[in-house]
C-alpha cells in the first residue's frame, strides 16, 4: 500500500516538523506540501495518530490517502516534479 499526504499548514515550525516526520516514515516529498511512499498499514496508522499532534486542527488541514498498486501504475506527472517517479515491475521508484 502507498500513502499520499497533502497538507496546508500555516505555521513554518509546524510545517517543518510535519515534513520531517513524514520523511522519517519513509515518505518522499513530491511537491512542497505533498509526500508519497510505500508504507505498511501499521506505519500508516502511526502517521494518522501523530499528525493531529503536529498541526493546529483549528486552522491547518492534512489529507491522507491510501493508494493501491493500480492507482500508482496509472500515475501521471505533468511539468517538472521535485522527485522523479517511475513504476518498475509494479513498484513505485522515486529518485
- Range of the structural domain that residue 50 is part of: 2-68
Into how many domains does the chain fold?
1
Three-state secondary-structure class, residue 16: helix
Strand residue runs (E) in 13-90: 28-31, 34-38, 61-67, 85-88
Expressed in angstroms, the distance from the first to the final Cα of the chain is 19
User: 42 exposed, middle or buried (CB, 10 Å; 0-12, 13-18, 19+)?
Assistant: exposed
pLDDT digits (tens, 9 = 90+) for 47-79: 999 999 999 999 999 999 999 988 888 888 788
What pTM value is reported for the model? Answer: 0.84
CATH number of the domain residue 47 falls in: 3.30.70.240
**2, pLDDT greater than 90:** yes
CA–CA distance, 92 with 8 (Å, rounded to integer)? 25
Whether 73 maps to a domain, the answer reads no
Please indicate if the annotation marks 60 as binding a ligand.
Answer: no
- Give a yes or no: residue 93 inside a domain: no
Amino acid at each position: 500500500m502507498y500513502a499520499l499526504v497533502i497538507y496546508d499548514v500555516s505555521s513554518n515550525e509546524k510545517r517543518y516538523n510535519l515534513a520531517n516526520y513524514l520523511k522519517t516514515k519513509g515518505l518522499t516529498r513530491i511537491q512542497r506540501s505533498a509526500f508519497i511512499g510505500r508504507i505498511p498499514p501499521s506505519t500508516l496508522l502511526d502517521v494518522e495518530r501523530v499528525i493531529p499532534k503536529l498541526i493546529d486542527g483549528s486552522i491547518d488541514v492534512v489529507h491522507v490517502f491510501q493508494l493501491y498498486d493500480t492507482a500508482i501504475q496509472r500515475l501521471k506527472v505533468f511539468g517538472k516534479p521535485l522527485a522523479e517517479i517511475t513504476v518498475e515491475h509494479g513498484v513505485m521508484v522515486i529518485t
